[in-house]
Structure 1
Amino acid sequence: MALKATIYKATVNVADMDRNVFIDQVLTLARHPSETEERLMLRLLAWMVHAHERLTFTRGLSAEDEPEIWQLNDHNGIDLWVELGLPEERRIKKACSRSQHVWLYAYNWRAAQPWWQQNQNKLAQQDNLSIRYLNDEQLSALTQLASRSMQLQATIQDGTIWLSDDTHHLEIQFETWLDAGKKP
């Protein structure tokens, strides 16, 4: 018998001062049986960083040809493709060819550091790819906010994310490994 996904509900309030985006949204996240709570929370954080009325979660781990999150345009083209983890270079290249912009959120220092050293030069050739890394300490703190029913407030300014619920207040900053907007 196959295991079923665990459903999480998140009511989020996002005030992104950098992009002048303000959104209140109720999100439903399905946590795949093989997905960790850390990954689920990073997926939710990535949604908040890119918050937009058209931004949606996909089938994620259940679909090889879809990212974790994407934003489709009026013509079913992909404006934004968001991946998590340490995908193969081939997958990233395919995403870059299909989407206007690709964001990758890496985590888990022990695995991420050698992956980045191995792939850095090849990935830097992708003009529409940005890569951010969230360190283990911040990811652990983020996971403290996880519950089946969450109410979160996020304020984003100058690349810093202030995230809180009723009892926790976090300041999160990603490390930039690759920035599509700042390539020579």
Structure 2
Amino acid sequence: MALPSKVYKAFIQLSDIGRGVYETLQATVAQHPSETEERLVARLLAYAIFHEPELAFTKGLSATDEPDLWVKRADDRVRLWVEVGLPEPDRIIKAGRHSERVALLACGRQLAAWDQQQLPKLEKLTNLTVISIDPAIIAKLAAQLERTIAWSVTITEGTIYLTVGEETLESAIQMKAGSP
């Protein structure tokens, strides 16, 4: 018998100063049985960092032909494709051919090796943005994960400030490829 997904309710108070985005985001997110808490946290962070009004979670790990998040046009074409983790370059290149813009929040235990081996293969994509944040923040958020998530996220001058309860975490948003 397959394990069920865990369902989380997320409430994110977002202030992205540089883009002039001030929103209260609400999302119900399912954690696939094979998905780690760190990856779930990274998906929520990507939701905040790349937020647009139409940005939506996809079926995730259940659908290998979909990203973690996307913005689709009325004609069903993908305008923004957002990935989380350390995907194969071929997947990102294909996404770059079929969407106007591709964004990746690169994270995972093998990030340094992925940067050296895979990032150079993506240099020619002009519609790609690759960022990362301090993995210790993702790990800390994952360790504190509860079914109801309440974050306050402020993004300004290349830094993300994330407040959970009484604690504020801070990380530079490292630009690895493309532009913000």
Deviations 1:105-149 (A, max 9, x none): 11234x122222112322101111111123332222332442100
The runs of at least 4 consecutive aligned structure 1 residues that moved more than 4 Å come to none
Offset of residue 32 of structure 1: 0.4
State the SS of the aligned residue for 2:48: helix
Tell me the equivalent position of 1:153: 152
Equivalent runs, 1:157-168 vs 2, <5 Å: 157-168=156-167
State whether residues 158 and 174 of structure 2, in contact with CA within 8 Å, keep that contact through their aligned partners in structure 1.
Answer: no
State whether residues 108 and 135 of structure 1, in contact with CA within 8 Å, keep that contact through their aligned partners in structure 2.
Answer: no
Which segments of 5 or more consecutive residues in structure 1 lack a partner in the other structure? none
d(CA) in 2 for partners of 1:135 and 1:85? Answer: 13
Offset of residue 7 of structure 1: 0.2
Instruction: Out of 1-10 and 115-124, give the one that drifted further.
Output: 115-124
State whether residues 81 and 102 of structure 1, in contact with CA within 8 Å, keep that contact through their aligned partners in structure 2.
Answer: yes
Amino acid corresponding to residue 23 of structure 1 in structure 2: E
* Residue 53 of structure 2 corresponds to residue 53 of structure 1: yes
Identity %: 38
Query: How many pairs align?
Result: 180
State the SS of the aligned residue for 1:48: helix
d(CA) in 2 for partners of 1:79 and 1:145? Answer: 33
* Residue 4 of structure 2 corresponds to residue 4 of structure 1: yes
d(CA) in 1 for partners of 2:87 and 2:116? Answer: 14
Offset of residue 33 of structure 1: 0.5
State the SS of the aligned residue for 1:33: coil
* Residue 116 of structure 2 corresponds to residue 117 of structure 1: yes
d(CA) in 1 for partners of 2:164 and 2:141? Answer: 11
Tell me the equivalent position of 1:92: 92
Tell me the equivalent position of 2:133: 134
Deviations 1:33-55 (A, max 9, x none): 01111110111011001222201
Q: What TM-score, normalized by structure 2, do the two folds share?
A: 0.93
Amino acid corresponding to residue 173 of structure 2 in structure 1: F
d(CA) in 2 for partners of 1:70 and 1:5? Answer: 21
State whether residues 86 and 108 of structure 2, in contact with CA within 8 Å, keep that contact through their aligned partners in structure 1.
Answer: no
Amino acid corresponding to residue 10 of structure 2 in structure 1: A
Deviations 1:65-105 (A, max 9, x none): 10001111233221111111111111111110111111111
Instruction: Out of 4-13 and 99-108, give the one that drifted further.
Output: 99-108
State the SS of the aligned residue for 1:143: helix
Q: CA RMSD in A?
A: 1.5
Tell me the equivalent position of 1:63: 63
State the SS of the aligned residue for 1:30: strand
Instruction: Out of 29-38 and 70-79, give the one that drifted further.
Output: 70-79
Tell me the equivalent position of 1:41: 41
State whether residues 81 and 95 of structure 2, in contact with CA within 8 Å, keep that contact through their aligned partners in structure 1.
Answer: yes
